Amino acid sequence: MENFQPIDIETEVQVPIQAAKGEIDATFISFSGLREPHFAIKLGPADGPGVIPLVRIHSECVTGDIFGSLRCDCGPQLHEAIDRISTEGGYILYLRQEGRGIGLNSKLRAYKEQDKGLDTFEANRVLGFPDDARDFNLPAALLKVLKVTQLRLLSNNPDKLKSLIENGIDVVSSVPTGTFMNSKNQKYLEAKHLQKGHQLFNS
């Protein structure tokens, strides 16, 4: 884990945001005790008797989330999560782990390697990085600070599911995200499915 002191909620503030279905209310939550400014977004009726929140663990992707890059599916997954969670109630954990944890500059270098024919994991290895450098223990710690110990996980990534369970989070169900494929990200999605077991296809 990246923190060196106890994690706690630092600030909670309501921020209206524009979503596909119009303006919605969101509560942005920052944390103290972290080296990186990870944050949570609370959407919809996330609390209350009988409510099991829907949670999306989303790693920052500047190129996809902000600029709509077609080389990945990050932007569409984030916007899908905002729409679904604002209706069903829950949280988005927005983790500052760009490029599966290698940072923006290195991710762009990896893109150059992919342009030579390598898949996303091969490109990381050529640059001396692991397939995935993210800290998957961190989300469980943040969820516990939010007092979320039972949830429905909005994800196709089996590593996220496994880590939450191993860290004592009761994952009632795993809810798949959509498969947002286009001609520019097909090889990327196929690599995630075939090499890491992401549940992106019916086969």
pLDDT given at position 203: 37
In the set 56, 84, 100, 134, the catalytic residue is 134
Across residues 87-101, what is the average pLDDT?
A: 95
Contacts with 112 (C-beta within 8 Å, 6 or more apart), sequence order = none
In terms of pTM, does the model score above 0.85? Answer: yes
To the query of whether residue 35 is one of the catalytic residues in this protein, the response is: no
For the chain, give every domain's residue range.
8-97+134-196
pLDDT in tens, 39-82: 999 999 878 778 899 999 999 999 999 999 999 999 999 999 99
At 62 the three-state DSSP class reads helix
Q: Which of 83, 132, 135, 159 is catalytic?
A: 132
For residue 3, the model assigns a pLDDT of: 53
Q: pLDDT digits over 95-143, tens only? A: 999 999 999 999 999 999 999 999 988 999 999 999 888 888 999 999 9
Residues 6+ apart with CB under 8 A from 177: 56, 77, 80, 81, 154, 155, 156
The whole-number pLDDT of residue 196 equals 60
> Mean pLDDT throughout 144-162?
94
Fold of 8-97+134-196: Rossmann fold (3.40.50)
Q: Residue 4: which pLDDT band, with cuts at 50, 70 and 90? A: low
Pair 128, 90: CB distance under 8 Å: no
Residue position matching structure tokens 């520019």: 184
Phi-psi region of 8 (alpha: psi -120 to 50; beta: other; left: phi over 0): beta
Return the pLDDT at 174. Answer: 93
pLDDT tens across 175-203, in order?
999 888 888 888 777 867 766 667 765 43
According to DSSP, residue 185 is labeled: T
DSSP 31: E
Q: Is 134 a catalytic residue?
A: yes
pLDDT at 197: 64
Write down the pLDDT at residue 183: 86
Contacts 24+ apart (CB under 8 A), 157-161: 157/196, 157/198, 158/196, 158/197, 158/198, 158/199, 159/132, 159/196, 160/57, 160/136
Asked if 91 contacts 148 with a C-beta cutoff of 8 angstroms, the reply is yes
